[in-house]
Amino acid sequence: MINLSTRVLRALIVLDELRHFSLAAARCNVTQSALSQMIARLEADVGVRLVDRDRRRVALTAEGGRFVAAARRMVGELDEIAADLRDRVDMRTGHVSLAATLPFAAHWLPPLIAGFRRSYPGIRVELFDEPPARCMELVRERRVDFAVLSMPGPVVGLQYRVLFQESFVLVCPADHALAKRKRVQLRDLAGAALIRFARSGSIGRHLEQALRGVAVSDTLDVEQLPTVAGMVAAGLGVAVVPIVAVPFFDPERVAVVRIATPGLDRAIHLVWRAAHALGPAPQSFVDAMEASMAAHGRPPLRRGRHQLVL
């Protein structure tokens, strides 16, 4: 194995350009003797003569010409790598890829992405809106840098930390008996027709225990938030939804009421690969998310015309 330094490669390139030891030594900020020794050691390492020397001029041998051509390619690629790394550290270029469940992908993250792109126009941001299980798969598959979701518990190969506690609200038709209340308890839903998230989803699983024992008159199980929004607007029942989902609901036809039942909140996590550190661009986006939450206490809710004191 030949141990080549970029310093020696650059010295040979300069010598090929100037064809003069003293001029090349001056450009490399070394003495002529030091440059001559560097080239001699290089020739000894590769086992062939690279430079023909006489008093008047310096010329590369045929082997030296092939070697310096390869040296230029190697040094050029290394310079490109170094420049790319500097640009990424300085946030001039880069890529952020994240996954999130529908409420966050639809209403919280787009304004953050827009602001981030204004601050760092050279960085590309890619967002996947997927169910929680698929979000975790994307992290494991290294297709995204991180995900934002409610974790069911420890998962092999992933690490996570709590970003914030997500609260829930009641959504009901505007003419419903509970619509004028400032806050309700879950027990106040007794006798109401409940539109419930399917237990296969993370929201449905979280609410199942909390709603156990509430004697509703009827239930309809659905999978997607837009479906819940349409059914509540049509007067088919009431629903308990994450507060970040409120923008899905028509403020002309749906009322939003705070739920005061303790212990209903759930943790939303930042999830990334185990033993993996986020790069400069992904970490900067996480910092932007946390700054947004610090300013509002949670992901900011675009209220529209919903009358809800948060």
Q: What is the CATH number of the domain that holds 240?
A: 3.40.190.10
141 and 272 within one domain:
yes
307: in domain: no
137 and 59 within one domain:
no
User: Tokens for 310?
Assistant: 């948060």
In this prediction, residue 218 carries a pLDDT of 77
pLDDT in tens, 143-200: 999 999 987 777 888 999 999 888 999 999 999 999 999 999 999 999 999 998 887 7
Last residue of a domain, one of 73, 89, 105: 89
308: in domain: no
Q: How far apart are CA 236 and CA 18, in angstroms?
A: 85
DSSP 179-245: TT-SEE-GGGGTTSEEEEE-TTSHHHHHHHHHHTT---SEEEEES-HHHHHHHHHTTS-BEEEEGGG
What mean pLDDT is predicted for residues 231-249? 93
Query: Considering the entire predicted model, what is its pTM?
Result: 0.68
User: Tokens for 226?
Assistant: 């837009």
Last residue of a domain, one of 66, 89, 112: 89
Task: State the pLDDT confidence band at 309, using cuts at 50, 70 and 90.
Answer: very low
277: in domain: yes
In this prediction, residue 221 carries a pLDDT of 86
158 and 101 within one domain:
yes
pLDDT in tens, 61-113: 999 899 999 999 988 888 778 777 776 676 677 889 999 998 899 888 999 99
Q: Which residues of the chain form beta strands (DSSP E)?
A: 51-53, 58-60, 94-100, 123-129, 146-149, 158-166, 168-173, 183-184, 193-197, 218-222, 239-242, 254-259, 266-273
303: in domain: no
Last residue of a domain, one of 52, 72, 89: 89
pLDDT in tens, 13-22: 999 888 888 8
How would you classify the pairing of strands 239-242 and 168-173? antiparallel
Q: How far is CA 39 from CA 3, 34, 42, 48, 66, in A?
A: 14, 9, 5, 11, 15
Query: Which positions ≥6 away from 109 have C-beta within 8 Å?
Result: 98, 100, 127, 148
Domain hosting residue 53, numbered range: 6-89
Q: What is the CATH number of the domain that holds 14?
A: 1.10.10.10
> Which is more confidently placed, 153 or 305?
153
If one counts the domains in the chain, the total is 3
In this prediction, residue 2 carries a pLDDT of 67
179 and 246 within one domain:
yes
Query: Which positions ≥6 away from 123 have C-beta within 8 Å?
Result: 91, 93, 94, 95, 96, 116, 117, 281
